Amino acid sequence: MDQVFIPPPPPPPPPFVPAPPAVAPIPWEDPSRPPAPALIETVKLFVTDMAQAFRRMPVAGDIGRPLLYAVIVGSIGPIIAQVYSLFLPNPIYRILQERFAGQAGSALFHRSAAAGVFGIVFVPMAVVIGLFIGAGIVHVCLMMVGGANSGFVATLRVVCYASTGQLAQVVPLIGGLLAFVFVVILEMKGLEIAHRTTTGKAIAAVLIPVAVCCVCVVLFVVTLGAAIFGMLNR
């Protein structure tokens, strides 16, 4: 008698695994939040837990809100620094004023003050221009090291929110240095998370242009110092 083939029973269904909970966007990216509290909470988030902040940051989409955030937050520190410069003149200007007393020294002082006022008025415009130029340079460097996995918009968003570090410029005298260090750290962490790349590639993408700028600044300072030294010894 022929045997009847009985198919094996189907495998049991896999255990139900619930989907991970959706990550809430950063407060500034939530259009239902009032602007002022959302701005303050976003600043707090990037200052206290930058890794969580960048994980909650969308890597694509409209860049209008990140740009507005960068213009607001990135302008506060530089504007206050410009105000400081009106009351705490640059030491170079002071030396030149003492060297060229009288009408020439007075003109130099007024030019310094005018430059400070001009800087305050045009800080927001400079912030926007600097964001696009800086993001472009960083993204090219990230591509060079093979870490650009999420596109230019992700880099621009990181640079925009890294402007949080510019608030450190409110600290007198050393605010510029603190802001520079804070922005660099934020950009490194943001690139690593937004582009899903390694820490080393994110660090390289940020430090390559910094190194180039440092070399250029050193050459400029040496040249300027030589020119001033020669002027003072005439």
Residue appearing with tokens 């880099």: 155
Task: Note the pLDDT of residue 163.
Answer: 94
Residues 6+ apart with CB under 8 A from 220: none
Q: What angle do CA 48, 169, 120 make, to 5 degrees?
A: 130
Residue 14 lies in a domain: no
Residue 101 lies in a domain: yes
Does the pLDDT of residue 105 top 50, yes or no?
Answer: no
| Tally of CA atoms within 13 A in the half-sphere of 228 that contains its CB | 15
- How many whole angstroms separate alpha carbon 234 and alpha carbon 229? 9
Give the tokens for residue 19.
Answer: 């989907």
Residue 2 lies in a domain: no
Q: What angle do CA 82, 84, 89 make, to 5 degrees?
A: 95
Find, among 88, 84, 194, 105, the residue nearest to 148 by Cα. Answer: 194
The domain tally of the chain equals: 1
* Residue pair 79/117 in contact by the 8 Å Cβ criterion: no
Task: Note the pLDDT of residue 205.
Answer: 94
Residue 188 lies in a domain: yes
Quote the pTM value.
0.74
* Residue pair 48/26 in contact by the 8 Å Cβ criterion: no
- How many whole angstroms separate alpha carbon 53 and alpha carbon 181? 18
The dihedral built from the CA positions of residue 85, 91, 130 and 63, taken in this order, carries a sign that is negative
Residue 7 lies in a domain: no
- How many whole angstroms separate alpha carbon 85 and alpha carbon 79? 10
- How many whole angstroms separate alpha carbon 138 and alpha carbon 90? 30
Give the tokens for residue 144.
Answer: 């060079």
Find, among 74, 88, 177, 174, the residue nearest to 134 by Cα. Answer: 74
Does the pLDDT of residue 89 top 80, yes or no?
Answer: no
pLDDT band for 22, please (50, 70, 90 cuts): low
Domain limits at 176? 35-43+61-232
Residues 6+ apart with CB under 8 A from 165: 179, 180, 181, 182, 183, 184, 185, 186
Does the pLDDT of residue 52 top 90, yes or no?
Answer: yes
- How many whole angstroms separate alpha carbon 210 and alpha carbon 32? 38
- How many whole angstroms separate alpha carbon 189 and alpha carbon 96? 42
Residue 9 lies in a domain: no
SS3 content of the chain, % helix, strand, coil (to 5): 75, 0, 25
Residue appearing with tokens 């259009």: 31
pLDDT band for 230, please (50, 70, 90 cuts): confident
Residue 22 lies in a domain: no
Residue 17 lies in a domain: no
Please give the share of the chain, as a percent, with pLDDT higher than 70: 76
